Copies of this chain bind each other. A is one copy, B any other.
Amino acid sequence: MESGRLGHPVPREFYKERDVVMEERRMRVDNEPQSLMAEQMHAALHLSHPYGRPVIGWAEELRRIDRVSAQDFYDHHYAPNNAILVVAGDVTPDEVRKMAQDAYGKLPARTLAPRTESAEPPRMAETRMSITRDDAKVPIFSRLYRVPSYSQGTPGQAESLEVYGQLLGGDQTSVLYRVLVEQKKLATDVGASYDGYVRDTAEFSVYAVPRPGVTLEQIEKAVDQVLQVNTLALPRDNDLARAKTGLIASVTYRRDSQFSLASAYGQALTIGLTVDDVNEWPARIRAVNAEGVRKAAQSLNRRQAVTAYLIPGGGKQ
Contact = CB atoms under 8 A, between A and B. Distances in A.
A125 B130 contact: yes
Contacts of A47: 40, 43, 52, 58
Interface string A289-317: 00000000000000100001000000010
A126 B128 CA distance: 8
A228 interface: no
A43 B37 contact: no
Interface in A29-70: 36-37, 39-40, 43-44, 47-48, 52-53, 58-61, 63-64, 69
B60 A121 contact: yes
Given A37-B124, A126-B130, A129-B127, A58 B48 contact: yes
Question: In terms of DSSP, what is the predominant structure of the interface of chain A?
Answer: mixed
A120 interface: yes
A39 B125 CA distance: 12
A72 to B, nearest CB: 9
Interface residues of A, number: 36
A308 B125 contact: yes
Given A40-B47, A48-B61, A58-B48, A124 B129 contact: yes
Nearest to A58: B121
23 contacts: A36-B124, A40-B47, A47-B52, A48-B52, A48-B58, A48-B61, A58-B119, A58-B121, A61-B117, A61-B119, A61-B121, A64-B117, A64-B119, A69-B114, A124-B129, A125-B129, A125-B131, A125-B308, A126-B129, A127-B127, A127-B128, A128-B128, A128-B129
Interface of A: 36-37, 39-40, 43-44, 47-48, 52-53, 58-61, 63-64, 69, 114, 117, 119-121, 123-133, 303, 308, 316
